[in-house]
Amino acid sequence: MIVNNNEGINKSQQPISRNKLLGVAGVGWLFDAMDVGILSFVIAALAVDWGLTPSQSGWIGSINSIGMAVGALVFGVMADKVGRKQIFMWTLVLFSLASGLSAFTTTLTAFMALRFLVGMGLGGELPVASTLVSESVEAKERGRVVVLLESFWAVGWLLAALISYFVIPTWGWRVALILTALPAVYAIYLRWHLPDSPQFTVKAEAKKRSVLQNMRDVWSKKYVRSTLMLWVLWFTVVFSYYGMFLWLPSVMVGKGFDLIKSFQYVLIMTLAQLPGYFTAAWFIEKFGRKFVLVTYLLGTAISAFIFGNAETLTVLLVSGMFLSFFNLGAWGALYAYTPEQYPAIIRGTGAGLAAAVGRIGGIFGPLLVGYLLTAGYEIGSIFAIFCGAIIIGVIGVLLLGKETKQTELE
């Protein structure tokens, strides 16, 4: 049931049902995930087609994260000025146009420039989408609904793996990118009639506040503990996620499997993301946000260590599936937890800043893998670094995090 806090709101702004809101927001989330998922396979294909070095391949993933950092900061701040829905629309338009155009590039420079714009749209959309949904759902089911929204990411990754497996080897990476960009137009159409957040529409004073005032308030005495915790958590989670997952197909190739086999195995690992989300969605309202974050992040760290040091196909596949299961479940909890730390008037700014800091981690993760591989380091040693980063995030949640299960948003 959507919160009915809509006095003085015109008909076009009337709340819609929870399931419709989840579906409309989720479809866009799905196409975003398809693009990010496709990128990991495209990087492996480009390395062959354009003869890229590991360092150059790492920069493709990192430029995407640089764009996401900028987008999360800029659009997160703007969401507190012009509303969640407007930003929700703008970011998807930017993302889909840049993604489609990247399919026609012939140079690494042009491809990376467009990937920066794709990243801006994606980085801005994700925290704003979770904020919009959080503000539109009752406290008793808010966490579950946001995690279910995040579960569309797994569907998108699965479709990306399917497209990569069946399309890239036969028709090439360009066709795969076009296939991910075109359906996003439909998501734009769906969002056209989406109402804005009921909390934002009754906060006219938000438009009178300056951007700098909102940023200062995020670090005010009341919220400094939450902000510090979120920044540490976002940085470590995004650093490890993009460092590991953007390199999964390439890691498989490095372990001796051909490109098509590598795509097939990553597809199998991707299937484990869905139960990861669904179990997290159930646990998050039963045991709380901190429980899910700590448990699933520890599971991620253990799985990553085993995956990096796996020497047989069975261990590689099983640990890879657990890595997907735990890591994506933790992501769902992260997106549910973040908007709950702030009041409506600075919620977009707080979530956007945290996501932007996280994306800085996403810049260094893929670069680190590329440079360490070039320097001759083993995959096991590289993945151990990501394990350590995740443990730091867990400590941050345990020491600084507060439980927000079923609490009403300010």
Report the alpha-carbon distance of residue 129 to residue 72 in Å, rounded.
11
Structure tokens at 229: 């915790």
pLDDT tens digits for range 96-144: 888 889 989 989 999 999 999 998 988 888 787 777 777 777 777 888 8
pLDDT tier at 321 (50, 70, 90 boundaries)? very high
Q: Cα separation of 75 and 86, whole Å?
A: 10
On the question of pLDDT at 3 being above 60, the answer is no
Rounded distance between C-alpha atoms, residue 13 and residue 193, angstroms: 8
Q: Are 249 and 40 in contact (CB under 8 A)?
A: yes
Element (H, E) at 169: helix 168-171
User: What tokens does 331 get?
Assistant: 């992501």
Q: Which pLDDT tens digit goes with each residue over 188-227?
A: 676 666 666 665 654 555 566 777 888 899 999 999 999 9
Cα three-residue angle 215-67-378, rounded to 5 degrees: 115
Across 35-50, average pLDDT: 83
pLDDT at position 113, please?
A: 95
**Predicted pLDDT of residue 11:** 40
Q: What is 323-352 written as a DSSP string?
A: HHHHHHHHHHHHHHHSGGGS-HHHHHHHHH
Question: Residue 19 to residues 22, 136, 303, 404: CA-CA distances in angstroms?
Answer: 5, 11, 33, 23
Higher pLDDT, 239 or 196: 239
**Cross-strand pairs, 137:** 2
Q: Nearest-CA neighbor of 256 among 310, 318, 320, 303?
A: 310
Split at pLDDT 50, 70, 90, the class of 391 is very high
Report pLDDT for 251.
75
Domain 16-192+214-400 matching CATH 1.20.1250.20: the answer reads: yes
Most confident of the following: 301-315, 367-381, 390-404: 390-404
DSSP at 193: T
Q: Is the pLDDT of residue 357 over 80?
A: yes
Question: Cα(328)–Cα(223) distance, rounded to whole angstroms?
Answer: 27
Position 293 pLDDT exceeds 60: yes
* pLDDT for 190: 65
Q: Is the dihedral of CA 219, 222, 224, 226 positive or negative?
A: negative
Taking only the tens place, the pLDDT of each residue in 60-108 is 877 888 898 899 889 888 888 777 777 878 888 888 888 889 989 989 9
How far apart are the C-alpha atoms of 279 and 166, rounded to whole Å?
30
The DSSP result for 95-106, as a single string, is HHHHHHHHTT--
Give the DSSP letter of residue 209. S
Residue 137, helix vs strand vs coil:
strand
Q: What is the pLDDT of residue 13?
A: 46
* Backbone phi, psi, residue 403, to 5°: -80, 130
Closest CA to 386 of 251, 277, 238: 238
- Does residue 2 sit in helix, strand or coil? strand
Residue 203 has a CB neighbour count (10 Å cut-off) of 17
| Average pLDDT, rounded, for the chain | 83
Does this model's pTM top 0.75? My answer is yes
